[in-house]
Amino acid sequence: MSIQDKNTDTEEIEGIEEDEYESLGEYPIDTLLIRNETRTVHDVLRRIEQGSFVMDPDFQRDFIWLDDKQSKLIESVLMRIPLPVFYLGEDDKGRMIVVDGLQRLSTFSRFVNNGFRLKLPNQADLDKKRFSDLSPKLKNRIEDCNLILYIIDAKVPERARLDIFERVNGGIPLTRQQMRNCLFNGPATQFLKKEAATKFFKQATGNSLTTKTMRDREFVNRFCAFRLLPLDIYKGDMDEWLAMALKRMDGLNEASLAQLSNEFQSSLQNNYYLFKDHTFRKHVPGQDRRGILNASLWDVMITGLAKHSHDQIVNHAEKLKKRFYALIKIEKFVWSITSGPNNPDRVRHRFEETQKMFAEVFDAHSS
C-alpha cells in the first residue's frame, strides 16, 4: 500500500500529551476578559468584507451547511426566532476571529449576496426565492437582525482561550490545532498548511497524521516552535508554546520563512534517509514492524537534523544511527519521550541528550 493510499481517519501517536478539559477556576477571574456586543447582520457582513471579521476558509470548505439547513436559518430570522450567540476571539491586530458561528455568518453572507435560493417548500411565499426576490420589508428584517457577539479579548491567556472555545463551540467539535488555525489565520498558518502537504512530510511521517483534524499541521507547528523559540522560556504549556511560534512566524519576512521551509524539508529528507519507515518512531536495528509515530522524538530529531546538510548525514550515517540506537535504550530518555512529555524538565532532558548525540557525531569530525 502506498503512503497516498493509507487511511488516516484514525491515528496512533505517542509522546504527545493532550490537554484535558480544564476547570476555568485556575485562571484569575480578571484575566478572562469577555465582552458582549450586539450588531446587525448588515454591520457584521460589512465588517467581514472589510477584513475586520475573519472567517477561516479552511473551515468554510470542511463544514459547509447544505442549502436546506441554510434556508432554515433564514426562515428563523424572518420569523424573528432568537439565534444562538456567536463567539469570537480578538487578535493582536484588533481583528475578530470567528470561531463559533462560522456557518451562520456564511449563510447570511451567501444569501444576502444571492448565493442560493431558499428551499422552504412549506413556505410558498419564500420557497425558491433569492434575497433580491424578497420584499423590502423582509430584506430589512434580515439585515436588521441583531446578533449577540461574545468577544474574548486578545489579552486572555492562550490556554484559557482554547478552553473557552472548546466549551462553547456549538458545531462540529474543533481540535486545538483547528482552533489555533482560526485564531492565527495568516502567513504562519498558511506555512503549516503548505509544509504538511509536501511529499517529503508525508513520506517521513508515513502519512500517519490526520489532515482533517490538522494533526499534520500541529507537527509542523511543533517544529517551528522548537526551532524558533529559545528552549529556556518553555514553561510546560504546549498550547501557549505553539501559539507563541505562530505569533513569531507572522512577524517573519518571506526570506526567513523560506529559510525555515528549506531547513524543515532538508531535515525531513535527512531523517528519512537514516530511518526509512521507522522515522520518528521508537525502534531497534532490523525491526520489521513499524512502530507508532512519537511526537516527542519528532521534536528532537526534526529540529536536530535541520542544522546539517544531507552530505553530512550521508557521511556520518552509520555512526549517527549507532548513537541513536544506544540513546533509545536508555530508560530515562525513553521515559522523557513517552511519560508526561510536556513536562519542562523532560522536554529539556530529551533535547540535551540528543544535542550531545549530534555533537559527538558531527563536531568531532569538524574539528
pLDDT score, position 172: 60
Confidence tier at 364 by pLDDT (50, 70, 90): low
What's the pLDDT tens digit per position in 79-122?
999 999 998 888 878 888 887 888 899 999 999 999 999 999 99
Predicted TM-score (pTM) of this structure = 0.78
Q: Report the distance separating Cα 37 and Cα 55, nearest Å.
A: 18
Phi-psi category of 114—alpha, beta or left, where left has phi over 0 and alpha has psi -120 to 50?
Answer: left
Residue 17: predicted pLDDT: 76
240 in Cβ contact with 281 (< 8 Å): no
pLDDT score, position 325: 97
The one-letter code for the residue type at 239 is D
Q: How do residues 138-180 score in pLDDT, each as one tens digit? A: 999 999 999 999 998 888 877 777 877 777 665 566 788 988 8
3-state secondary structure of 39: strand
Q: What is the mean pLDDT of the chain?
A: 88
pLDDT of residue 100: 81
Helix H or strand E encompassing 26: none
Share of the chain above pLDDT 90, in %: 66
Q: Which amino acid is at 210?
A: T
Q: Is the pLDDT of residue 10 over 70?
A: no
The answer to whether 341 touches 15, Cβ cutoff 8 Å, is: yes
For residues 282 and 291, the answer to whether their CB atoms sit within 8 Å is: yes
